[in-house]
Structure 1
Amino acid sequence: MLRPFPTRLSARLRAWQNQVREPSLTALLLGQVLLLFLVSPLSSIHLLPYQVVNGLQLVLLVISYLALPVTSKVRLLIVVCLLPLVWVLFAGSNAYIGLLLRMVTTLGITVAVGQAVFRAQRITRHQLLGAVVVYLNLALLFMGAFIVLSEIWPGAFTTPTHDHPHPGELLYFSLTTLTSTGYGDILPVHPLARSLANLEAVIGQLFLAILLARLVSQHNGDSRE
């Protein structure tokens, strides 16, 4: 007996989503690398309009939706935030609302992808790339916190030329702090800024030394079997 068309369509859609889940982790990582290391810097020096950054962020949200399990509640969170985020980013509305929406969805994606990666019974290349996605998302989350802190307490961060770093500079600061590179050209001055920077540095080192190293060793073990 043939199943009703809506049921068959739903089953095919679910099967397609399961097929694209792991490749979506790879696409998400590539998009994040493009955003963090090419599009955002070019936008900061006005070689690209900021709408390109906004558009790429929306694309990454859609890819994140596909990368999450069908039963993940974060998918609903992405859908709920997507329309107001489009309005905020492209209609010139309140930038702080847009920042809040991006931080909420980024946090949800980080938790969901982390669960999908670290609960997987078999570690594949896609899971390893998903772990890198989580790592880079940590930099984005702390960047958002640094932006909020800089707005609440002007002068919380200082540079050699000014005391109010723009978001691109705080993204750079977040990445160098997460990786413990620490060039020293942007300094956290406010006690809370220093505390957040220390927390990010500790989390970054623990993630690489414990979690990512465990996944790599488990992946190598599975490959030899």
Structure 2
Amino acid sequence: MRLRDLIRAVEDKYNRLLTLLILMYLSSPFLVDWAIGNVILFFLFLGVIVIVIYQIQHSKRALRLHIGLLVLAMVLKVLNYLTSALRHLSPVFEVLSTGILMAFFALSIYLILRELAIAEQVTADMIKGGICVYFLFGFLWLEMYNIVYSFDANSFTAPSKSISRSDLAHFSFTTLTTVGYGDISPASEIARVLANLEGMVGVMYPAVFIARLVGLYSKD
């Protein structure tokens, strides 16, 4: 019975990850701009992804790499929180922790896509894995926008004078889905390039990769 439960848990790893990503996406607007809530959200998210990626990779080296990134990002986040009153130090820790988070998302996307690309038989759970990558793209570009905004507060234009992290998350996912409400717009050259790239990924990834997974699944 235990072996059967273990096999079922491995088979449903993307189902759990997709559930987590949806919960993180729905709760992030309420927690992301709250200092303590942001830290809790940050580490809960990364901790669970470390476990899921280990199930995918089955490699102690990959697990150590993810845990190393997690610990380093944790230290930088804590330093950013503790030095929030010191204007000359806090932005440095924020940019460094965001860069580590970007590397974490990029590595997770790579490992998931590599497993999905070489799969000979596509299951419903693997299709959910492809959807997980779509969510991860949105979070990855959020961190890119966050770094750009950290260096240049005029990189984005919005009705309000200041743009919060939740605003950037909103901009990232509306760009990824190519909805483009227009309430937040990229103003600098690098912000425009990133937005254009995200829009292209948002169009081509479902049309090519997700469609391929669905097509292989329908043949089974």
- Is TM (by shorter chain) over 0.5? yes
Is residue 56–residue 112 contact of structure 2 (8 Å, CA) maintained in 1? yes
1:32 and 2:21 aligned = yes
Gaps (5+ residues) in structure 2? 83-92
Query: Structure 1 CA distance, aligned partners of 2:99 and 2:50?
Result: 18
Q: Of the candidates 150, 171, 174, which is equivalent to residue 172 of structure 2?
A: 174
Q: Of the candidates 27, 40, 44, which is equivalent to residue 52 of structure 1?
A: 40
Q: Deviations over 1:22-70 (max 9, x none)?
A: 32221111111111122x1111575x83233123223333333333221
1:43 and 2:41 aligned = no
Query: Structure 2 CA distance, aligned partners of 1:73 and 1:203?
Result: 29
**For the structure 1 residues 82 and 49, does the alpha-carbon distance in structure 2 shift closer, same or farther, using more than 3 Å as the test?**
closer
- State the one-letter code of the partner of 1:56: L
Query: Structure 2 CA distance, aligned partners of 1:59 and 1:199?
Result: 28
Q: Which residue number corresponds to residue 100 of structure 2?
A: 101
Query: Structure 1 CA distance, aligned partners of 2:193 and 2:32?
Result: 27
Query: Structure 2 CA distance, aligned partners of 1:211 and 1:65?
Result: 20
The percentage of counterpart residues that share the same residue type is 24
Is residue 74–residue 112 contact of structure 1 (8 Å, CA) maintained in 2? no
Q: TM-score, normalised by structure 1?
A: 0.82
Q: Which residue number corresponds to residue 183 of structure 2?
A: 185
1:64 and 2:52 aligned = yes
Is residue 29–residue 133 contact of structure 1 (8 Å, CA) maintained in 2? yes
Q: Deviations over 1:160-216 (max 9, x none)?
A: 112x42211111101000000110000111122111111110111001111111111
Q: Which has the higher contact order (CA 8 A, sep 6+)?
A: 2
Q: Which residue number corresponds to residue 159 of structure 1?
A: 158
Q: How many residues get paired?
A: 208
Is residue 64–residue 109 contact of structure 1 (8 Å, CA) maintained in 2? no
Larger radius of gyration: 1
RMSD: 2.7
Q: Which residue number corresponds to residue 136 of structure 2?
A: 137
Q: TM-score, normalised by structure 2?
A: 0.84
Query: Structure 2 CA distance, aligned partners of 1:72 and 1:168?
Result: 35
Query: Structure 1 CA distance, aligned partners of 2:17 and 2:26?
Result: 14
Gaps (5+ residues) in structure 1? 1-14
